[in-house]
Structure 1
Amino acid sequence: MKRINIYLLLILFLTISACEKGLEPEVFNSISPENFLKTEGDVKTAVTGIYYELRGGGWERYTASWGGWLTQGIGCTDEWTTNWATDEQTEFLWRPESNFLSLFYTAMLPAITKATGLIKQLESAPVDPVLRERYTAELRTIRALIAFDLYDQYGPLPIIVDPEYALNPARAQSYKPSRPEKGWYVGFLETELSEVQRVLPVSYENSADYGRMTKGTAMMVLLKLYMRERQWDKAAHTAQQIMDLKFYALQADYASIWSYSNQHNNELIFTIPSMATGGYGNNFLAETLPPDYVSHTNVPLTRWSGYRVPWAVWDRFEQNDKRRERLVRWYWNGAQMIDGRAANTHLKLGALPMKYQENPNTDGTWDASEYVIYRYADVLLCRAEALNEISGGPTQEAIDLVNLLRSRAGVNPIRLSDFNQSSFRDRILQERQWELCTEGSRRQDLIRHGKLISDALARGKRFATDKDTLYPIPQSAINENPNLKQNAGY
């Protein structure tokens, strides 16, 4: 194909290429239709460029900064607050004009178009057909992952999955699609995420390929889709399929899941790999630490004093729960231990979410700790929840799955005889917060349980209404496409 979409050219200029050290920056400055996608290296570089779309320059997208996937998933819930001026999000005051709500939308919707265009171009790439099929499956999975997260936040969107619009600028410029029906959108995601499983590997032999899409990643996104749609039979089956891979396993030590010294562990299903390089690292620790926090390892840490977990959430943990240790109440300021529950401290709003820990090799910015998006503990909790709905009440298997996580946390097991369907449903929601706090799932969980708005109102968020279970389509997108219907209530 002689016409190369400008988006794909930009991907190659802003790409990262998998090489001997993993996903490292590689700049290309001589690209033409004659030398594009002619070798396996070209294809790998182009595909890896789509992976780059998940992190962009290190802000928003699938990172820990405000307006990214993580804060969109917890910022309006009970488990997140901040010292920064984010009242629009925490107080349910967002509008179609709210800038923070447009960041994920405006970055990730075009990423789907780019993936679609490259999928089509790979069809004629003169490379090994087996390799081409795998790369195509990777692209389809990335596209579905992004499409699901956009759907979860905004509802069905007019994603471009037709290469005629992705690769033909003239047609694309005049394309003003309306929003698709929910049934089509969900069906598209289900088909894509099911079909790619036949091709994707469970893991990659070459460690440099870590972070690429796997069979487990596709299954996990599909599981999240089924949970969101409350398709309990399919959710339970998919969770069991992930368990049957016999590849993922709980780490013995909860804190080690995020440790810089335990990267790529087998509890992790999907992560965004990081490097200690500007634009490619993890800033969660810097986003969190108070200004007088002093490192345990004498590292000159960057401290932006932002994120906190409200004390009401901290108080719900059982006293000996090891998971609460990652929500730090006490810290050293160089002269004394600061107790966050004392008056007038930098922790007056809540505890420090420190699942990502000090790394003596970095200052807390652009750290090499990978961003954890999905992990195996979530699979166990999803299956337990689905079994409760299927069986009209908890089963011993569901109880046992929850107790696997409670055992690791050092708290007493729960008993089947103590629950009916309703009380176990509530308990699962609470167990999910104890296990997954600040990992991005809370908004989705509360919506699924019908409690996002009631919980917000109970916390004094008086502007929360039923419309807020979806974010508004950014006004800029509505202005650009008059056929794009706004979500109800906005």
Structure 2
Amino acid sequence: MKILNYILALGLLFPLASSCSDDFLEVEPKGQFLSSSYYNTEDQVYSGLVSVYDILRKNTGGFENMVALLNSGSDDHVAGGGGATDGIQLQRFSTHDLSSTTVGASYWDDHYEGIFRANVMIQKLPEAPVSDALKARYTAEVKALRALYYFNLVRLFRNIPLITEPLTQDQYNTITQVDPGEIYGLIEADLKAAIPNLPDVIPLDTEAGRITKGAATALLGKALLQQGKNSEAAAQLALVNGTPGTPSPYGYELLSNFEDLWVVDNKFNSESILEVAHTNKGESHWGIWGSGADEGNTLNVMVGPRGYSKISEDAPEIPSGWSFNVFTQKFYDIMAGDPRFEATILDLKTMKENGEVDYIAGYEDTGYFLNKFTPTIAVEHTGAGDAVLNYRQNSYIIRLADTYLMEAEALGGTGARAQALLDAVRARVGLPSVPVSPDAIALERRKELAGEGHRFFDLVRTGKAAEALSDRGFDTGVDEILPIPFKELENTQLVQNPGYN
């Protein structure tokens, strides 16, 4: 694969980036290191661990981030942006017309780079100059991260290679794809091996952002659910969730106010299970943007309105953005009257009609912006770099309301526990109980998790994608996954996914 070829050709172990957390130790870049001469000190080993974590930024970092892509391909958003070719992978995924040359190659490359780093770390740790306790914990963290990166890859592309050790230069182009079941087998094995050696809780002042036992267990439950192993998924998710509506065994608890989930300073709160950290201290600039070295939340500027100006004194303070991922009218109507509406949807259409604001309509404009990530406060810029690339809002990969609803789904959408899990999510925002059912759970997920990148995979997992996306060009048996990027097919043994030849 090309990304591995690039890394191996340079003899480069990893770039030392530190976007994992403002609190998780920031490792200063010290150049480039050969794997053969690295891991000789405890600091180097720790730097290697940070490098594996760094790929988590793919969730909301860089233009080709996971949330922007997955939102674009769902029925709740259109791609938006500045025109029909602005962010071509988002536009084509929105209309389910991707090809091997328009799919964003980094969705493949970046995840395999994370896997490469994890494989090197796993290989080097047994002889690393750290205590046995640290070896056990670092190995557990790296295996959990490798499982996450494979989980993203297998959901995105399905037919992928399984690589569990660093490749040599002459090996990379002989790799073939494996049955997806083998990928899921490794995901499950890695997580089950990791869980016993991970801490139940971590000190947030020094370790915020690191993998815990609860995070790995939640990811295992999610991976089992994706495969239809519902009873096993429910068992794992129950360990994370505990008694609905009360603090879980790992200390997770729904925030009392839904809006507080989106307060920029409310990082690593009690509802957060697995969270990506961004910082405004990275001095990110256009020269490194999208390279993996930028540390800001790019989704913020992507979803902000174009050419925004405040007219009324009561109008929100919003820096201008690029107008991607606007909500559809259909979703707006579904959310109407829901207590989560204002935290989820920024209704600039109505504000503009009332003379409160003005903005430049982007492509496919509806006037309904993703308020969870709209940058409502200008970035606290701390030095060099470009301000719009240094937004510091974190993003959730998994949070407790998500695991509540996943467990309810895994239970078949029936029974007292499924009812209690659904009720807890609704009660948090002041909604009354409704009879639990698969449809009620799906609707609650749609409203609760809107704009967070879950909807497309939810539709595929539950077999509802064809119906929900029938007006978006969705082709059953093809568009559940992405085409493999063209460059990965050149001079390799890989074959294109069905329907994309």
Instruction: Measure, in 2, the Cα distance between the counterparts of 1:345 and 1:191.
Output: 46
Instruction: Measure, in 1, the Cα distance between the counterparts of 2:330 and 2:19.
Output: 44
Instruction: Measure, in 1, the Cα distance between the counterparts of 2:15 and 2:237.
Output: 39
The structural deviation recorded for 1:158 is 0.9
Q: Give the match for residue 396 of structure 1.
A: 416
Q: Would you say 1:94 and 2:98 are equivalent positions?
A: yes
Instruction: Measure, in 1, the Cα distance between the counterparts of 2:318 and 2:271.
Output: 31
Instruction: Measure, in 1, the Cα distance between the counterparts of 2:75 and 2:61.
Output: 17
- RMSD (Å) for aligned C-alpha atoms: 3.0
Q: Give the match for residue 324 of structure 2.
A: 306
Q: Give the match for residue 77 of structure 2.
A: 80
Q: Would you say 1:474 and 2:485 are equivalent positions?
A: yes
1:367 maps to a residue whose letter is Y
Q: How does 1:59-70 map to 2 (within 5 A)?
A: 61-63=58-60, 66-70=63-67
The structural deviation recorded for 1:323 is 4.1
Secondary structure at 1:26's aligned position in 2? Answer: coil
Secondary structure at 1:328's aligned position in 2? Answer: strand
Q: Give the match for residue 38 of structure 1.
A: 40
Q: Give the match for residue 51 of structure 1.
A: 53
Instruction: Measure, in 2, the Cα distance between the counterparts of 1:266 and 1:154.
Output: 33
Q: Would you say 1:271 and 2:268 are equivalent positions?
A: no
Q: Say whether the 8 Å CA contact 2:276–2:395 is kept in structure 1.
A: yes
Query: Using a 3 Å threshold, how does the CA distance of structure 1 residues 388 and 269 change in structure 2: closer, same or farther?
Result: same
The structural deviation recorded for 1:234 is 0.6
User: Cα deviation per residue 1:414-445 (whole Å; 9 max; x = unaligned)?
Assistant: 135xxxxxxx2122111110010011111111
Secondary structure at 1:368's aligned position in 2? Answer: coil
Query: Using a 3 Å threshold, how does the CA distance of structure 1 residues 450 and 215 change in structure 2: closer, same or farther?
Result: same
Q: Would you say 1:485 and 2:495 are equivalent positions?
A: yes
Greater CA drift, 228-237 or 108-117: 108-117
Q: Give the match for residue 16 of structure 1.
A: 18
The structural deviation recorded for 1:228 is 0.8
Q: Give the match for residue 248 of structure 1.
A: 252
397, 421, 429: which is aligned to 1:373?
397
Instruction: Measure, in 1, the Cα distance between the counterparts of 2:209 and 2:133.
Output: 20
Q: Say whether the 8 Å CA contact 1:302–1:365 is kept in structure 2.
A: no
Q: How does 1:137-152 map to 2 (within 5 A)?
A: 137-152=140-155
Instruction: Measure, in 1, the Cα distance between the counterparts of 2:457 and 2:234.
Output: 18
1:266 maps to a residue whose letter is S
Q: Give the match for residue 288 of structure 2.
A: none
Q: Would you say 1:410 and 2:409 are equivalent positions?
A: no
Secondary structure at 2:447's aligned position in 1? Answer: helix
**Structure 2: which 5+ residue stretches go unaligned?**
1-6, 85-89, 243-248, 285-293, 381-386
Q: Say whether the 8 Å CA contact 1:156–1:185 is kept in structure 2.
A: no
Q: Say whether the 8 Å CA contact 2:79–2:91 is kept in structure 1.
A: no
Query: Using a 3 Å threshold, how does the CA distance of structure 1 residues 8 and 440 change in structure 2: closer, same or farther?
Result: farther
Q: Say whether the 8 Å CA contact 1:235–1:386 is kept in structure 2.
A: yes
The structural deviation recorded for 1:274 is 0.9
**What fraction of aligned residue pairs are identical, expressed as a percent?**
24
Q: Say whether the 8 Å CA contact 1:38–1:127 is kept in structure 2.
A: no
Q: Would you say 1:172 and 2:182 are equivalent positions?
A: no
Q: Give the match for residue 467 of structure 2.
A: 454
Instruction: Measure, in 2, the Cα distance between the counterparts of 1:478 and 1:258.
Output: 41
Structure of higher RCO (CA pairs closer than 8 Å, 6+ residues apart) = 2
449, 454, 469: which is aligned to 1:436?
449
User: Cα deviation per residue 1:2-28 (whole Å; 9 max; x = unaligned)?
Assistant: xxx858974554322889953535111
Q: Give the match for residue 3 of structure 2.
A: none
1:135 maps to a residue whose letter is Y
Q: Give the match for residue 355 of structure 1.
A: 372
User: Cα deviation per residue 1:84-136 (whole Å; 9 max; x = unaligned)?
Assistant: 23431111111122242x22112212321221012101111121111011111
1:107 maps to a residue whose letter is D
Query: Using a 3 Å threshold, how does the CA distance of structure 1 residues 18 and 286 change in structure 2: closer, same or farther?
Result: closer
Query: Using a 3 Å threshold, how does the CA distance of structure 1 residues 21 and 470 change in structure 2: closer, same or farther?
Result: closer
User: Cα deviation per residue 1:352-405 (whole Å; 9 max; x = unaligned)?
Assistant: 11113523543654222112211010110011111126xxxx212212211111
Instruction: Measure, in 1, the Cα distance between the counterparts of 2:473 and 2:457.
Output: 20
Q: Give the match for residue 221 of structure 2.
A: 223
Q: How many residues are matched? A: 459
Greater CA drift, 257-266 or 191-200: 257-266
Secondary structure at 1:358's aligned position in 2? Answer: coil
Q: Say whether the 8 Å CA contact 2:318–2:378 is kept in structure 1.
A: no
394, 419, 427: which is aligned to 2:440?
427
Q: How does 1:284-363 map to 2 (within 5 A)?
A: 284-294=299-309, 301-330=319-348, 336-338=355-357, 348-356=365-373, 357-362=375-380
Instruction: Measure, in 2, the Cα distance between the counterparts of 1:33 and 1:384.
Output: 45
Query: Using a 3 Å threshold, how does the CA distance of structure 1 residues 361 and 170 change in structure 2: closer, same or farther?
Result: closer
Instruction: Measure, in 1, the Cα distance between the counterparts of 2:334 and 2:54.
Output: 38
User: Cα deviation per residue 1:273-296 (whole Å; 9 max; x = unaligned)?
Assistant: 111132111132321222343477
Secondary structure at 1:186's aligned position in 2? Answer: helix
Q: Say whether the 8 Å CA contact 1:18–1:44 is kept in structure 2.
A: no
1:430 maps to a residue whose letter is L
Q: Say whether the 8 Å CA contact 1:8–1:114 is kept in structure 2.
A: no
User: Cα deviation per residue 1:224-267 (whole Å; 9 max; x = unaligned)?
Assistant: 11111111101110110112424111001111112112111010
1:429 maps to a residue whose letter is A
Q: Say whether the 8 Å CA contact 2:100–2:483 is kept in structure 1.
A: yes
Instruction: Measure, in 1, the Cα distance between the counterparts of 2:224 and 2:36.
Output: 44
Q: Give the match for residue 58 of structure 1.
A: none
Q: Give the match for residue 419 of structure 1.
A: none
Q: Say whether the 8 Å CA contact 2:483–2:496 is kept in structure 1.
A: yes
User: Cα deviation per residue 1:432-490 (whole Å; 9 max; x = unaligned)?
Assistant: 10010011111111011111122111xx2245332111111112111231x22222222
Query: Using a 3 Å threshold, how does the CA distance of structure 1 residues 219 and 367 change in structure 2: closer, same or farther?
Result: same
262, 265, 270: which is aligned to 2:266?
262
Instruction: Measure, in 2, the Cα distance between the counterparts of 1:454 and 1:98.
Output: 25
188, 191, 194: which is aligned to 2:192?
194
Query: Using a 3 Å threshold, how does the CA distance of structure 1 residues 105 and 320 change in structure 2: closer, same or farther?
Result: closer
Query: Using a 3 Å threshold, how does the CA distance of structure 1 residues 226 and 311 change in structure 2: closer, same or farther?
Result: same
Q: Say whether the 8 Å CA contact 2:370–2:451 is kept in structure 1.
A: yes
Q: Say whether the 8 Å CA contact 1:18–1:45 is kept in structure 2.
A: no
Query: Using a 3 Å threshold, how does the CA distance of structure 1 residues 261 and 111 change in structure 2: closer, same or farther?
Result: closer
The structural deviation recorded for 1:144 is 0.7
1:412 maps to a residue whose letter is P
Q: Say whether the 8 Å CA contact 1:75–1:81 is kept in structure 2.
A: yes
152, 159, 163: which is aligned to 1:160?
163
Q: Say whether the 8 Å CA contact 1:323–1:409 is kept in structure 2.
A: no
Q: Give the match for residue 420 of structure 1.
A: none
Instruction: Measure, in 1, the Cα distance between the counterparts of 2:205 and 2:231.
Output: 35
1:319 maps to a residue whose letter is G
Instruction: Measure, in 2, the Cα distance between the counterparts of 1:270 and 1:288.
Output: 22
Secondary structure at 2:181's aligned position in 1? Answer: helix
